Chains A and B, each alone.
Chain A
Amino acid sequence: QVQLVQSGSELKKPGASVKVSCKASGYTFTTYAMNWVRQAPGQGLEWMGWINTNTGNPTYAQGFTGRFVFSLDTSVSTAYLQISSLNAEDTAVYYCARGTPYCSGGSCYSIWYFDLWGRGTLVTVSS
């Protein structure tokens, strides 16, 4: 079964760190980019960036540099999101999402849509 299974909810104190995992199954992990998307309570979707599952090279969106780290363990087909120095504004659901490239006329592009999502991990930051 093709799926992304994320780790469970986390409750953290301000200043702490958290590491969210996203385990892929049912497909070749290194064939697709892995993205991270944040959704604050009652808000819309916000793209955090992506990681190249072949090279491990991460790309961070504006506003997600410094405290956010994407990493991989390809031996277990798992992507990770680590957030340090947590504050209340980091309270959100964090989704991993597989990126499938757009293809046309036999060529595929380095842009994609998200065809497979994890169920999300709620991270709550509260003292």
Chain B
Amino acid sequence: SYELTQPPSVSVSPGQTASITCSGDKLGDKYACWYQQKPGQSPVVVIYQDSKRPSGIPERFSGSNSGNTATLTISGTQAMDEADYYCQAWDSSSVVFGGGTKLTVL
């Protein structure tokens, strides 16, 4: 079955750029999206269709997808961005989630 691999954790200093990767076989040929989940809350989509940002999501969130890797980039990271982030794609008519990355802002 298809797998998406994310680093378990990423740390970033406030104001710096955070990059979270998601790797999968020929992922660049699929659409990727990203969800943010804060403790005790439901996930929220922050990037869809590789690089589109839903209304209400700050411009500091951006995404790219090429080759075997999709990347979520958060520019000027703020303390409020500390959360778990999950990538998601489709393969063979099934949804696949990455294992999640805990972003720590310290």
Contacts and interface: CB of A to CB of B under 8 A. Distances in A.
Given A62-B1, A102-B31, A115-B54, A47 B97 contact: yes
Contact of A44 (B49, B94, B97): B97
Given A44-B97, A61-B95, 18 more contacts: A44-B99, A45-B43, A45-B86, A45-B100, A46-B97, A47-B96, A59-B93, A61-B94, A95-B42, A95-B43, A102-B48, A113-B48, A113-B88, A114-B35, A114-B43, A115-B45, A115-B54, A117-B43
Interface of B: 1, 31, 33, 35, 37, 42-45, 48-49, 54, 84, 86, 88, 90, 93-100
A35 B54 CA distance: 19
A20 to B, nearest CB: 14
Contact of B35 (A35, A45, A110, A119): A45
A100 to B, nearest CB: 8
B6 to A, nearest CB: 9
Contacts of B35: 45, 114
Interface string A35-66: 10000000011110000000000010110000
B31 A119 contact: no
Contact of B49 (A46, A102, A114): A102
Contacts of A115: 45, 48, 54
Contacts of B1: 62
Among B42, B48, B98, B99, max chain A CB count under 10 A is at B42
A111 interface: yes
Contact of B45 (A46, A62, A114, A118): A114
Given A44-B86, A44-B99, A44-B100, A113 B45 contact: yes
B58 to A, nearest CB: 17
Contacts of B94: 47, 61-62
B86 A120 contact: no
B45 A45 contact: no
Contacts of A119: 42
A118 B42 contact: yes
